[in-house]
Structure 1
Amino acid sequence: MPVEGLSINLATVRQQWDMRQAVDACLAQGITAIAPWRDQVAKIGLDEAARLVANNDLKVTGLCRGGMFPAADPAGRAAAIDDNKRAIDEACTLRADCLVLVVGGLPETSRDIVHAREMVADGIAAILPHARAAGMPLAIEPLHPMYAADRACVNTLAQALDICELLGDGVGVAIDVYHVWWDPDLARQIARAGAMGRILAHHICDWLVPTRDLLLDRGMMGDGVIDLKGIRAMIEAAGFHGHQEVEIFSAENWWKRPGEEVLATCVERFRTVC
């Protein structure tokens, strides 16, 4: 039976399968929505990835990832803009709902996070005409503050929505519970995002206590401390009723288990704790 409302971000099984194998395994579990990463697409080729999507009538809830805008010099910033335009085209070829942006942290040797955030806004502004012309929404994903220096200097939903307000149509947010669950202003900002019509994606996993690795020890839903049902209720009250996308990086646990077990557990937890 199809598992309605569940998407699998293919990072969740990236150590077990390539994109082609992951699609087959998802279909065997009744999962018909996925979110691939650009390296997974490149490994089998964009044309082949697009055929997989079309031939299996898959929903692509997002392509990961664009972003990484801040750079130490104009050439680096220009290269990031060019790469993001390519990512927009890839997302269109895959008929993705959005291109997810992990915006980037501080340029090498910099301590100026304010300027880094300005470079992020400028970078998104530079690619936005291309995205609008292609009809591809851009989803800013705020990351937990522990990643502010190296991965994303946009760390709260409020910061992401401020950029959306600054730039106008075509930019929204991806709300990943791993990154925002702790935010005391979360309820108000989810409501704000809904009122603006900016919620483009909803990513789920769990925060383990203790967390052994801040990047590669995400938990399966229900194994940690995130109020998944509560956040889902806020997101749905704000008007977003799209898929919940499981995205788990787990070097010492889920990436070491058989892929079929991982997907079956995702389905079971989606039905019981999300």
Structure 2
Amino acid sequence: MKKYSVDLNSDTGEGFGPWKIGDGVDEDIMPLISSANIATGFHAGDPNIMARTVQLAKQAGVGVGAHPGFRDLVGFGRRNIAETPQALVNDIVFQLGALREFARLYNVSMQHVKPHGALYMLAARDENLSRLLIGTLQTLDPTLLLYCMEASVTYRIARELGQPVIREFYADRDYDRSGSIVFTRRVGLLDPAQVAAKVLRACVEGRVATVDGDDIDIDFDSVCIHSDTPGALELVEATRAALKNHDIRVAAPSYTVARE
């Protein structure tokens, strides 16, 4: 079934001091998306960047979300770190609290939480981590949306516990036959027209090609384009234009509770 509205999210605030990750420019990308995943200091980001990114999101009317990652500035949060689920959830709470205070400072509501990189992929397959994370979020703020893949343990546990979730489609990542993205630490330059066509097909037909050479059904609420993907701005522009040309509105996600 064709979608008539979809969220468009991107990772933002991914720098540290004077350095920026990738060639995506937050000031240019922010007005084109509907949800911003703001780096919270462990894989990227610092207090000044976090404050500025929250202000940019407010000015653009974009939903604000925390993007907590592994404590891994050197590896940009894309290396697995051996820790207990409780320690990892404590790190997430720490990062969420930091961004929440900047959101409060600028009178912005927190919309969502989306783990970053290797932490996102770990939660996608680790039931103990997903269960503890979801239970903690429900205690802190049961209205916070949790971004995850539909083909993940995180989504299954969310359905069990009634956690509000947003299922993601990754425009700039490959899929395997299971419906999971193929995790990579480096992405090359992508063709904006091909990425836009991939997103449009997913929105209209509910299908995506896989690295295994076949097509699978896919369902989602939000499209993600990483700001650190080479040419990210062009990918976002092309995708948004394709959606507009097919009368698919870009809008922040509605409140959805996944249930069994």
**TM-score normalised per structure 1:** 0.53
**Matched position secondary structure for 1:247:** coil
Report the CA distance shift for 1:245/1:179 in structure 2 as closer, same or farther (over 3 A).
closer
Say if 2:11 is the partner of 1:31: no
Structure 2: gaps (5+ residues)? 1-5, 72-79, 208-217, 247-260
Rounded to whole Å, the distance in 2 between the matches of 1:67 and 1:165 is 25
Identify if the C-alpha distance between structure 1 residues 57 and 214 changes in structure 2 by more than 3 Å, giving closer, same or farther.
closer
Q: Which digits, 9 at most, give the CA deviation of each residue in 1:173-226, with x for residues without a partner?
A: 333255574336x5xx9xxxxxxxxxxxxx9xxx9xxxxx93211534434798
Distance 1:65 1:173, change over 3 A: farther
Residue 79, structure 1, aligned to residue 87, structure 2:
yes
Aligned counterpart, 1:119: 128
From the superposition, tell whether residues 265 and 215 of structure 1 become closer, same or farther in structure 2 (CA, over 3 Å): same
Q: Aligned-pair distance for 1:264?
A: 4.2
Match of 1:210 in 2: none
Letter in 2 for 1:63: A
Q: 1:157 aligns with which of 129, 151, 155?
A: 151
Q: Post-superposition shift, 1:249?
A: 4.2
Q: Determine what percentage of the aligned residue pairs are the same residue.
A: 7
Distance in structure 2 (CA, Å) of the matches to 1:127 and 1:136:
11
Deviations 1:66-103 (A, max 9, x none): 589x9756xx4332122211333345426343211344
- Judge conservation of contact 1:81–1:126 (CA < 8 Å) in 2: no
How far residue 158 of structure 1 moved from its aligned partner, in angstroms, is 5.3
Kindly state the Cα deviation for residue 59 of structure 1 after the two structures are TM-superposed. Answer: 0.2
Match of 2:163 among 140, 155, 169: 169
Asked if 1:227 is matched to 2:198, the reply is yes
The alpha-carbon deviation at position 231 of structure 1 amounts to 1.3
Deviations 1:27-70 (A, max 9, x none): 6xx5364433223542525444433333x1430364323589x9
For structure 1, which runs of at least 5 residues remain unmatched after alignment?
107-112, 142-155, 190-202, 208-212, 256-261
Tell me the residue number matched to 2:141: 132
Residue 267 of structure 1 aligns with which residue?
237
Match of 1:98 among 89, 96, 112: 112
**Structure with a larger share of its residues in helix:** 1
Q: 1:246 aligns with which of 196, 201, 225?
A: 225
Question: 1:268 is matched by which residue type in structure 2?
Answer: A
1:182 aligned counterpart, secondary structure: coil
CA RMSD of superposed structures (Å): 4.6
Partner of 1:258: none
* 2:67 counterpart SS class: strand
Over 3 Å counting, the alpha-carbon distance change for 1:182 and 1:239 in structure 2 is closer
Q: Secondary structure, in 3 states, of the residue corresponding to 2:157?
A: helix
Preserved contact between residue 36 and residue 64 of structure 1 (Cα < 8 Å): yes
Distance 1:269 1:245 in 2: 11
Say which SS state the counterpart of residue 98 (structure 1) adopts: strand
Change (3 A) 1:178 1:8: closer
Give the corresponding residue for 2:55: 51
Of structures 1 and 2, the one with the larger relative CO (CA 8 A, separation 6+) is 2
Using the alignment, how far apart are the partners of 1:32 and 1:225 within structure 2? 14
TM-score (norm 2): 0.55
Residue 163 of structure 1, CA deviation:
1.6
The structure whose residues are more often strand, as a share, is: 2
